[in-house]
Every structure is written in structure tokens, then in C-alpha cells.
């Protein structure tokens, strides 16, 4: 338990440093974007490549992947039904609200939590691969088909295939998995710079998040979506990990650290790319933006409580 709390402290300390940097304007107005792009395009792929290359594949492709698939799918369907037929939102807005309730931040916060709290970045790899390769493209395909942005034929297929196969984190993960499967080790001269670059991933991610907290004020009454935002946040931080717990504990019989890892992974906050999708399709922008912020702020203390309950 002490090790878990220490991990959360490290995460919040780096987030706090990012917030302080933003408040004092030490790195300029574009610091968050630079740090986010550095981690996404350069450092995170290197970290995932090195981690997965040295991982046990039975950990990556295990019952943990099944828990992620089942819990994400169930909460996605349930949340869509709630927003569509209970809240009476139009179809595409309900899809964005459903994404806000089910698509987790597998990279920017998932990787640091996986390293410092769960002890290994490989715990987040199944979530990252599942979401980027299948879950998120499915949502985008449905949004594309129900808005004016739909493209015909091959162009439409490429629109969803290319972001997946060219995503740096997917590429880094795939290279790492191939190395692990073949038991082939890259020369130390190659792995050393990869190791050093990957070391920048977690500080850059967490500081970028801390910078984003400066000046953010969600849940404005005049937006008209305050209840929807709170509902999506509760579904993401309470219902999603609860479903993961029930399935992992009683359907798969997971216990101890394996159970804790499954629950914590499901409790990760809403992914920032949900807001990007909302802007792209001009649907559910307020709910997406505010849910990302609220769940990201609340997620770490919520996971600390889960750690205490499951200890």
C-alpha cells in the first residue's frame, strides 16, 4: 500500500511542477503543446518499445486485455443508451458523450500510472492497443457516418486505417512486441539512446497535464450540459472500474495485484483525443472538454481510494 501511495505522490508532484511552471509562465504560452508532442511522437514510442521488448507477452496478452475489452464495451453501450434515450441527446452527441464515459487516457496519464503505481508500463499496453486499433476507430466510423464529414469509398477507409497504422505509440508497441516474440535484442548502441529518449516520456506527459490545469474552469451553468458532464464523469470513474472489478473478480477470478491493475486501468480518466474528435465533428464539445478535465483531476485521488479498498 505504501508503494502505491508513493507512486501517486510522484505523479502529483510532477503534475504540480507543471502547474507551477504554467502559473509562473516559465516556458512560454506554447509549452503544453511542445511537451505533449514531444511525449506523443518521440518519447512515448521509445518507452513502449523498450518496455514491451523486455516484457513477458503473457502479461500483455492476458486476462487483462479481456477485462479491458469487456468493461470498455459494456460502459460504452450503456452510456450511449443513457444519453440517447434518457437524456434525449441527438445520435452523434450521444456518441461523443459515450466516448467521454469509456475511452481512457492510455498514454498521457496511463503510462505514468502504469509505471509508478502498477510497477510496469506493460500493464497499459493492452488498453493502448485495444483503444487505438479498434475501440476509438469504431466510434469515429459511426460519427463519420452520422455527420456531414463522411467520405466515400476508399478515402473513407483510409481515413480510419492510416491514423492507426501510423500512430507512433502503436508503431513503438508493435516493434517492441515483435522483438519480444522473436527474442531478438537490438544492439546496446541502439537501445541506449532509445532508453534515454523514453525516459523523457513520463515527465513530459505529466508536466504537460499540470500546465493544462492552469486557468481551467469547467461546469459553466450557461453551457447547458453540466449534468451531462457530471454523468459522463461518474460513468468513467465509478461505473467503468466497477464493471472491470466485477468481471475480473467473479468471471476471471483475478486477485491481488492483477485485480488492482485491471481496476486502475479502467479508472483512468477520459482521453484527450475525445475532445479532439468532438471538435472535429462539432458535436458534444462541452461535455467532452469538461469531462476530460474533471476526470483527469479526480482520477488520481479516486485511484488512491481504490488502492486502499483493494489492499
For residue 69, count other CB atoms closer than 10 A to its CB.
16
Residue range 158-165: mean pLDDT, rounded = 63
- Between CA 207 and CA 18 the distance in angstroms is 4
Residue range 137-166: mean pLDDT, rounded = 67
Say yes or no to pLDDT of 293 above 60: yes
Say yes or no to pLDDT of 158 above 80: no
Quickly state the pLDDT bin for 155 (edges 50, 70, 90).
Answer: low
Predicted pLDDT at 59: 66
**Least trusted range by pLDDT, from 81-85, 161-165, 185-189, 301-305:** 161-165
Say yes or no to pLDDT of 33 above 70: yes
Is the torsion defined by CA of 16, 17, 18, 22 positive or negative?
positive
Predicted pLDDT at 137: 75
φ, ψ at 270 (rounded to 5°): -60, 135
Say yes or no to pLDDT of 307 above 70: yes
Predicted pLDDT at 93: 95
Q: How distant is the alpha carbon of residue 25 from its chain centre?
A: 27
Say yes or no to pLDDT of 56 above 90: no
79/144: higher pLDDT:
79
- Between CA 98 and CA 113 the distance in angstroms is 24
For residue 23, count other CB atoms closer than 10 A to its CB.
13
Q: 211-264 pLDDT, tens per residue?
A: 877 776 777 766 678 899 999 999 999 999 999 999 999 999 999 888 999 999
Residue range 15-20: mean pLDDT, rounded = 88
In this structure, are residues 118 and 259 in contact, taking their beta carbons and an 8 Å threshold? no
Predicted pLDDT at 229: 94
Amino acid at each position: 500500500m505504501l508503494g502505491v501511495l508513493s507512486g501517486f505522490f510522484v505523479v502529483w508532484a510532477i503534475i504540480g511542477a507543471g502547474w507551477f511552471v504554467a502559473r509562473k509562465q516559465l516556458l512560454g504560452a506554447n509549452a503544453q503543446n511542445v511537451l505533449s508532442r514531444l511525449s506523443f511522437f518521440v518519447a512515448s514510442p521509445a518507452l513502449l518499445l523498450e518496455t514491451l521488448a523486455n516484457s513477458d507477452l503473457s502479461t500483455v496478452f492476458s486476462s487483462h486485455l479481456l477485462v479491458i475489452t469487456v468493461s470498455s464495451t459494456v460502459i460504452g453501450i450503456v452510456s450511449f443508451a443513457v444519453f440517447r434515450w434518457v437524456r434525449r441527446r441527438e445520435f452523434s452527441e450521444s456518441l461523443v458523450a459515450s466516448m467521454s464515459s469509456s475511452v481512457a487516457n492510455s498514454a498521457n496519464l496511463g503510462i505514468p500510472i502504469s509505471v509508478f503505481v502498477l510497477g510496469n508500463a506493460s500493464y497499459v499496453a493492452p488498453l493502448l492497443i485495444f483503444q487505438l486499433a479498434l475501440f476509438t476507430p469504431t466510434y469515429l466510423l459511426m460519427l463519420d457516418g452520422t455527420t456531414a464529414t463522411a467520405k466515400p469509398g476508399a478515402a473513407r477507409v483510409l481515413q480510419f486505417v492510416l491514423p492507426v497504422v501510423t500512430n507512433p505509440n502503436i508503431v513503438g508497441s508493435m516493434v517492441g512486441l515483435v522483438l519480444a516474440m522473436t527474442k531478438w535484442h537490438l544492439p546496446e548502441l541502439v537501445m541506449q539512446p532509445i532508453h534515454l529518449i523514453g525516459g523523457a516520456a513520463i515527465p513530459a506527459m505529466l508536466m504537460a497535464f499540470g500546465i493544462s490545469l492552469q486557468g481551467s474552469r469547467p461546469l459553466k451553468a450557461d453551457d447547458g450540459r453540466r449534468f451531462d458532464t457530471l454523468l459522463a464523469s461518474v460513468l468513467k470513474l465509478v461505473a467503468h472500474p466497477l464493471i472491470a472489478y466485477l468481471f475480473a473478480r467473479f468471471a476471471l477470478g483475478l486477485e491481488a495485484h492483477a485485480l488492482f491493475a485491471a481496476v486502475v486501468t479502467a479508472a483512468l480518466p477520459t482521453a484527450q483525443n475525445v475532445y479532439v474528435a468532438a471538435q472535429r465533428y462539432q458535436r458534444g464539445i462541452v461535455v467532452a472538454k469538461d469531462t476530460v478535465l474533471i476526470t483527469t483531476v479526480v482520477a488520481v485521488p479516486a485511484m488512491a481510494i481504490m488502492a486502499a479498498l483493494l489492499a
